[in-house]
Structures are given as structure tokens and as C-alpha cells.
Amino acid sequence: MNISVIGTGSFGTSLAMVLNDNDNRVMMYGRNQDTVLEINESHTNSRYLKDIELDEGIRATGSLQEAAAHAELLVLAVPVNAMRKVAGELNGLLKKLDKKVLVVHVAKGLELDTYKRVSQVLEEVFDEDRVTDIGVLSGPSHAEEVALRQPTTVSAASIREDGAEVIQDAFMTDYFRVYVNNDMVGVEIGGALKNIVALAVGALSGYGFGDNPKAAVITRGLHEIARLGTKLGANPLTFLGLTGMGDLIVTATSRHSRNYRCGQMLAGGMSLDEATENMGMVVEGVNTTRATYELAKQYDVDMPITKVLYGYLFNNISEDEAFSALMKREKTSESEGLKQLLESQIKNSEQ
């Protein structure tokens, strides 16, 4: 299959390796000409994946038109804040080429100003006659480990189910296992909102807190994700799977996680601007915290961890104020939240 990966960052590069290993004809698109030359001539991408050698079959181009012309499947591996612009450019090129493609994105976040999931953005931007389907690939999949061909499992979802099966076939290898999931909303919400929790847990680590509070934030954070996701139409069981619990565990506990590391930097005294600049890569959890805070208000969903993290990031509340806001909340029952989720799922299934 002819596949173009749009984006030459760490995850886009590791996915190009997976696709190439599965005997696809892979082209990568990047704006940085030095990176494009390095991929084509040295078969490395040292800025993002040190000490990783790329197969010579992976080609790179600085021409978005060439990438669009090559593709039967477009893999959008760009940050959420660039997605609408890049998709618009691709839609225009597909019109000129008079062709249709399958589009799959791998971004994990919500659009800042609209609070929309990425697939909703892509549905708005791409003309219906330019795409066969729009899908997402998501799950616990650090690029650094995928590039080393360590066993990895992810989920594929699409607006129409047959698109997810094509994505599954394109990516499936003996080390990269892809499951089809019919819950597009749940897959995208789980992948986006786990970054909020990872930021919070990273801050806990930076302040020197131990495992007890980290486990509490991860567990209660999963409840928050499920509450909002279910309100938006997701199946709550999705959040117990790879794109919920799985991605949350790996992102909130790993040194590879840029959201976790950003939280540590903030706790260490850096400003938000300093921490994100120091990362050298987009920290999706920052904008997603903003978007989710507003979305929770819009849908009247209780998300105390998100609310406190929003205050910590953008309103300069102190560490003490943050913990006081969480620990001194009104008494409640743990099972009550689970009961509400189950009742919501039963109600959705009856409609």
C-alpha cells in the first residue's frame, strides 16, 4: 500500500518504520529540509530518535503535493494545533489531484478554541469526496520503544468500521498489534485527556510525593476521563482498554512522556513557557487542559483534577491550594461514580 506519513517527529518516524516493516511503500513529509535530507541520505532522524537506523525504503520529501500524490493512506502525525491547517492544505491538493484517500490521525488532544476531537476537525476540513474514511490510531505507544520494535498494542477506530480494518491491516506486525475499536469518541477522548493526568502526576513527582498520591490521581483521573467521555457519547468500557487505562498508565508513569516531564519541570520552578520551550516538542496536555476545563463546564461534568490543574497552570494557584482543593472536597462514595457511568451506558444502549 502507498502510505504517506505527514510529520517527521518521533512518533511519525517510528510509525513509518512499522509501516515499512509491513511491506508498505512509505513516504514521509517534513517541513525541515535538513531532516528530509538526513532521512534520505543518512537514513536517520537524530533530532527525534537517536541511534535509530531507518530502512532505505523509507523516503522523505519536503513537498506536501508529492506526499499527497503518493498516498492511498495518509497518516497525520502533526500536533493538534497544526491539524486544521495541514488538513486544509492536503484537501486542496487532493482536489487538484482528483483523488480520494483514507485519512488516519495519531494526535492526542482537543482543538483549543473549538474543544473538538481531531476527527471532528478533519470531517469539517476534508471534502466528503476526498476521503474514503477518517480514523484514529491510539494507545500506549511511546515512539522510543516502537522504534526499538518493542511489543506494542494500540487501537484503531474510524467513522465507518471498514476504515479501521484497513488501518489495522496496514500497521499490524509481529511486534505492533492493532485492535479494532468501534468507539471513535472513546478512543480519541481517552488519548487526549490522559495527558492532563500525566501533567498532574509529573508535578507530584517533581514535588517529591510518593506512590500513594500518584496512584490516587491516576485512578480518579480515569474516572474524570470516563465521566466526560460518556457524556460525549463514548462507551465507558473503552476507558478500561488500551486507549484509556493503558495509555494513561504509560503516559503518567514514564520518563518518555513529555507531559509527565513537563509536570516535573513546573514543580521544579520553571514557568509554563520555560517548561514547554525546554521540552523542544509540543506538550499536548497543556492546551488539552484548557479545552477540557471549558468542555467540562459546557457539559456540567465534575472534573476536580482537571479544574485544579487548570488553576495551577493558568491562574498561579499554589501547591498547597491545589491539594487543599482536592482533599477537602465534599464527602462522596467511590461506587456512586461507577454507578452513574453504568447507568449512562445502559441509557445510551437503549436509545
Please spell the DSSP secondary structure of 150-181, one letter per residue.
--EEEEEEESSHHHHHHHHHHH--SSEEEEE-
d(CA 245, CA 149): 22
d(CA 118, CA 123): 9
158 is in an annotated binding site: no
Hey, what amino acid is at 272? L
160 is in an annotated binding site: no
257 is in an annotated binding site: yes
Cα angle 18, 143, 266 (rounded to 5 degrees) comes to 165
Query: CB count, 10 Å around CB of 302?
Result: 14
d(CA 153, CA 68): 28
247 is in an annotated binding site: yes
Q: Which of 67, 61, 60 is nearest to 93 (CA)?
A: 67
135 is in an annotated binding site: no
| CB-side neighbour CA atoms (13 Å) of 152 | 26
337 is in an annotated binding site: no
59 is in an annotated binding site: no
108 is in an annotated binding site: yes
9 is in an annotated binding site: yes
d(CA 59, CA 40): 6
179 is in an annotated binding site: no
2 is in an annotated binding site: no
12 is in an annotated binding site: yes
Cell of 116: 473538538
d(CA 305, CA 200): 8
Q: For 267, which DSSP code?
A: H
149 is in an annotated binding site: no
d(CA 111, CA 94): 23
Q: Which helix (H) or strand (E) holds 131?
A: strand 131-138
Q: For 243, which DSSP code?
A: I
Cell of 200: 498532574
297 is in an annotated binding site: no
115 is in an annotated binding site: no
258 is in an annotated binding site: yes
Q: Catalytic residue numbers? A: 194
Residues annotated within the binding site for sn-glycerol 3-phosphate are: 108, 139, 141, 194, 247, 257-259
Residues annotated within the binding site for NAD(+) are: 7-12, 143, 258
